[in-house]
Structure 1
Amino acid sequence: MLGLIAAFLTSFFATQFIIRFKHLHQHISADSNLSGPQKFHKVAVPRIGGISIACGLFAAVFTKTISLGSGHQGIILLICAIPTFAIGLTEDLTKKISVKQRLLFTAISAACVIYSLNIQITSFDIALIDFVFAIPFFGTLLTVFAITGLANAYNIIDGFNGLSSMVGIITLLALAYVAYLLGDITIIFLSLIMAGAILGFFIWNYPQGLIFLGDGGAYLIGFWIGALSIWLCFAHPEVSPWFALLINGYPIMETLFTIYRRRIHQNSNPGEPDGIHFHTLIFRRILQARYFDSALSANARTAPYLWILAGLSIAPALLWWQSTPILIGACAFFAIGYVWLYSKIVRFKTPSWMHL
């Protein structure tokens, strides 16, 4: 509990400090591009909210180490996260770091997690295909790919106020809940301190968007959740590996569909931004015109749609975290539902219940 409080308060006041003195640093820290395909803010806004979250994590781990004389695994995970956070923050400040460079540094962080904590994906829990784990380094490479991909996925969904940060909080609370059922104090602690650190930022980000996560914050959240998702399944074989997949269903599905859309339909670079993400369609096709002058902007009203969508994949993961067959079915159902709903919205056939 002390670590959670430390994470929240440190992040909260660090974010307030960044906003209060933005006039001193916004020439390098602000997102001044107001015309990009995924830009919906009207004034330059600091995009270094990841600093607040990193400070919150450090305060929580430091507090536990000092007060209880433990917490070395938290220190290790925090050190492993440095390359991911550093390259993301560098992009926030310079706007010159390519996607490939960010993925490379995140992969280095993932490799550090595997080496330092001795965790990795070891099974699909499907007898017919689990033989692939006998291939040397297959599990290691898959783990690096999974953590790196999820970190990038959180950056992809970071398009509107409160979107990726609240999805992260919901996912972390779900991880903490299953860890609680299993009595895993370490994963409970690491999940809750990240949730607390994000919440300290979220209060300033939503609904008004006084500060943005930036690449540093989004990559850090995705990396942390990816590592904990795999760690939980590795440490507790009774947890289906499909739990880790389904609990992150929304950002994973958004990423996979983005790659498919850009590569197959647009014949373009998957790393380039576009304006037809799921969250962008909801904003433009459902909310933008209706709430143009509303006190609670269309931007702020977009995120709750995606919070619910994320919850639709997380709920079955929590209910049937031990059952691989049910979770595989839930993954298939979620993927089909996502594609169906996306196709409806993009063709101007949005279901009436989404216009509430």
Structure 2
Amino acid sequence: MVKELLENFNPQDYPLWLFLLAIGISFLVSSFSYPAIINVAKSKNLLDTPGGRSSHSGSVPNLGGIGMFLSIVVTITLTGAVLDTKILLLILGGVTFLFFLGLKDDILILSPRKKFTGQLLAILLLIVFTDTRIVSFSDIFGIGLMPYWLSVIFTMFVYVLIINAFNLIDGIDGLAGSLALMAVLSFAYVFYRYKDMSMVVLAAAVIGALLPFLYLNFSRSKKMFMGDTGSMILGFIIAVFAVRFINKSELSTTAIYHNASPVLVLAFLFFPLLDTLRIFFIRRFILKTSPFAADKNHLHHRFLDLGFSHWQTTSIIVCINIILIVLIYFFKDFNINLQLALLLGAGTILYSLYFIYNWLKKMKKV
């Protein structure tokens, strides 16, 4: 009877119930997991100790990624029978690989080269076995279809960029988690419009894992960090969403977001990508150091320097990014190059506005 029920069950008929069920399962698993992880981390002294570039004081458990991993895996295991099992298993395979890679880095510290190599292996697993890749530039700057080899290389670059973007912005309370939550909610909506329930449920699993984590991440008495384990898992899943969304949009001229998917993805992930590319330029060409060398030149550090708290900085950044998403969504039917120019211009202005205002105030005093 159960077998017949599963065979005749169409997930597209119950999108809201599946979405809420996945959030509920993930929320419950993570809510019970995080306190246990905090206790174990404290008893075994598996804590993040503040260093020279840290914006925190005191030692904090940094194994929140374990709870995220458990929540996502349990949720997909329980709901996957009615979804696209092949793609979900391959995604979970990549997530599992990055989980152990990140866990080792959180406990023992891995070199950037080993992390990069591990990320490439997880990325290739998906690209090779699903052939889900970015096949064209959607006529941005007049560039269309790419050769297969260039498409694979560019898709790998996008994966690596997004994974490491979330790793790099995880520097203050709530920032990486809140931006991930915003991006995953955005992807859940567009995948719902595409009737891609496997991705909607995966997004719900991530949302359910993030909500309890953010509560603890902002907490003073029970604080925890996601660590490299959490940031790499989140970055990888969001990169999967980005590539799959662009791929689905590009392959069908009748797709709702055929004319806007690359720019929408840039809007969903504007701050992580902006800060990552900015910090890469500063470290490589101004400071002449390794792009992976830790420092306090991130945009969120600049906000802290102006006197904003962690909560205020995170709120400002997330609100600006939401404004950009809404802006581009309303202009999604315009020429794609105009959309891109609008996003880059508006994003640069909005994120620079307060710094310009503060500079002008100082100039008046002089």
Q: Which residue of the partner structure matches residue 292 of structure 1? A: none
The percent identity for this pair of structures is 21
Contact 2:140 2:337 in 1 (8 A): no
Instruction: Please say if residues 313 and 330 of structure 1, whose CA atoms lie closer than 8 Å, have aligned partners that are also in contact.
Output: no
* Cα distance change, pair 332–83 in 1 and its aligned pair in 2 (3 A): same
Deviation at 1:236, TM superposition (A): 2.9
1:229 aligns with 2:242: yes
Q: CA deviation at 1:123?
A: 1.2
Q: Counterpart of 1:130?
A: 143
Deviation at 1:23, TM superposition (A): 2.8
Structure 1 residues 114 and 62: CA distance shift in structure 2, 3 A:
same
Pair 1:77-2:77 in alignment: no
Structure 1 residues 319 and 17: alpha-carbon distance in aligned structure 2, compared to 1, 3 A threshold: farther
Partner of 2:173: 161
17-26 or 149-158, larger mean C-alpha shift: 17-26
1:69 & 1:331 partners in 2: Cα distance? 35
2:321 is equivalent to residue 310 of structure 1: yes
Cα deviation, residue 207, structure 1: 3.9
CA distance in 2, matches of 1:269, 1:206: 31
Listed one character per residue, the Cα deviations across residues 66-124 of structure 1 (whole Å, up to 9, x for unaligned) are 5x4764422221112223222222110012x1223212211211111112222001111
- Cα distance, 1:50–1:127 mapped onto 2, change above 3 Å: closer
Moved more, 301-310 or 251-260: 301-310
Please tell me whether the aligned partners of residues 162 and 202 of structure 1 are also in contact (alpha carbons under 8 angstroms).
Answer: yes
Which residue, out of 42, 45, 48, partners 1:31?
48
Secondary structure of the equivalent of 1:14? helix
Amino acid at match of 2:193: L
Check conservation: 2:188, 2:200, Cα contact below 8 A. Answer: yes
| Residue of structure 2 equivalent to 1:19 | 38
Alignment TM-score, normalising by the size of structure 2: 0.84
5+ residue gaps in structure 2?
A: 1-19
The structure-2 alpha-carbon separation of the partners of 1:334 and 1:308, relative to structure 1 and needing over 3 Å to count, comes to: same
- Note if contact 2:137-2:145 (Cα within 8 Å) is conserved in structure 1: no
Pairs within 5 Å for 1:3-18: 3-18=22-37
- The whole-number CA distance in structure 1 between the counterparts of 2:342 and 2:114 is 34
Check 1:184–1:70 CA distance in 2 against 1; reply closer, same or farther (3 A cut).
Answer: closer
Matches within 5 A, 1:1-356: 1-26=20-45, 29-32=46-49, 34-37=50-53, 39-65=54-80, 68=82, 71-95=85-109, 97-126=110-139, 129-130=142-143, 133-134=146-147, 136-208=148-220, 210-237=223-250, 238=255, 239=257, 240=260, 241-287=262-308, 298-321=309-332, 323=334, 324-337=336-349, 340-341=352-353, 344=356, 349=359
The number of residues matched between the two structures is 333
1:290 corresponding residue in structure 2: none
Given the two structures, how large is their TM-score scaled by the length of structure 1?
Answer: 0.86
Over the aligned positions, Cα root-mean-square deviation in angstroms equals 2.3
Q: Secondary structure at the match of 1:333?
A: helix
Quickly say closer, same or farther: Cα 1:304–1:76, change in 2 above 3 A. same
Q: Is the 8 A contact 1:8 1:199 kept in 2?
A: yes
Asked if 2 retains the 8 angstrom alpha-carbon contact of 1:61 and 1:71, the reply is no
